[in-house]
A and B are shown apart, each in its own frame.
Chain A
Amino acid sequence: DTGVSQNPRHKITKRGQNVTFRCDPISEHNRLYWYRQTLGQGPEFLTYFQNEAQLEKSRLLSDRFSAERPKGSFSTLEIQRTEQGDSAMYLCASSANRGDYGYTFGSGTRLTVV
Chain B
Amino acid sequence: QKEVEQNSGPLSVPEGAIASLNCTYSDRGSQSFFWYRQYSGKSPELIMSIYSNGDKEDGRFTAQLNKASQYVSLLIRDSQPSDSATYLCAVNRNTDKLIFGTGTRLQVFP
Contact = CB atoms under 8 A, between A and B. Distances in A.
Contact of B97 (A91, A99, A104): A99
A107 B98 contact: no
Given A31-B96, A33-B97, A102 B42 contact: no
Contacts of B95: 98-99
A107 B43 contact: yes
A58 B94 CA distance: 17
A43 interface: yes
Nearest to A50: B96
B43 A108 contact: yes
Interface in B24-45: 31-32, 34, 42-45
Contact of B32 (A31, A48, A55, A102): A102
* Residue of B43, B98, B99, B102 contacting most chain A CB atoms (<10 Å): B43
B43 A105 contact: yes
A42 B100 contact: yes
A91 to B, nearest CB: 6
Contacts, number: 65
Given A42-B101, A42-B102, A100 B43 contact: no
A108 B103 CA distance: 18
Given A43-B44, A105-B45, A107-B42, A99 B102 contact: no
A40 interface: yes
Contacts of B22: none
Given A42-B100, A43-B100, A56-B96, A101 B42 contact: no
A41 B102 contact: yes
Contact of A100 (B4, B45, B46, B94): B94
**Chain A to chain B: the 9 pairs with minimum beta-carbon distance, closest first:** A42-B100, A100-B32, A105-B43, A99-B92, A99-B96, A100-B92, A108-B43, A42-B102, A102-B34
17 contacts: A35-B100, A40-B8, A42-B88, A42-B100, A42-B101, A45-B99, A56-B96, A56-B97, A98-B92, A100-B94, A101-B49, A102-B46, A103-B46, A104-B46, A105-B45, A106-B43, A108-B43
